[in-house]
Amino acid sequence: MGGSVGREVCIQGKADLNAVFSDGTTRTAATFEFNSGPYGNGPTPNNSYEAFGAVPTNEAGMLNNGYTGWKVLLPNYNGRSGLRVHPDTNSPGTKGCIGIVGCYEELKNLGNFFNKYIGPSGKNRMIFNFNIKGNPNYGNEGKANSRLAQ
């Protein structure tokens, strides 16, 4: 995932969904726009996260254009908990998660893929590499603003 840092500590960029084959070759299957931050403790800290589950959800902020959404569960890291990958369709930005931007069909298909491939208990391994140059949470104990709780 690559992106840029905005004035309000919101990272926006493009995320590639890559397939890695047994011979080591990598192919990009799809590319999506994303947001991370500025709310809560700001953007997701730079790290490689192994998803441990993917489930449908009706939680506010994770809906797909007003309909049932999905969330990919990421491990706690560097003092941060509740990290997720989910649709970002209501107002731009997240509370530190990675919010994928797209139309209803794109996000529905992506959510179905995550739910089937990863499943609720992480049946297949998927790594999310989040490495943004200039990320304000890199080396800052995962918090852009230590006065805010996530």
- Domain count of the fold of the chain: 1
Return the pLDDT at 131: 85
- Classify residue 150: in a domain, yes or no: no
Which residues in the chain show pLDDT less than 50? Answer: 4-7, 145-150
Per the structure, the complete domain to which residue 101 belongs is given by 2-130
- Classify residue 138: in a domain, yes or no: no
Give the span between the Cα atoms of 56 and 150, in whole angstroms: 22
Give the span between the Cα atoms of 14 and 128, in whole angstroms: 13
Task: List C-alpha distances in Å: 76 to 23, 39, 79, 102.
Answer: 31, 17, 7, 26
CATH number at residue 33: 2.40.440
**pTM, 2 dp:** 0.83
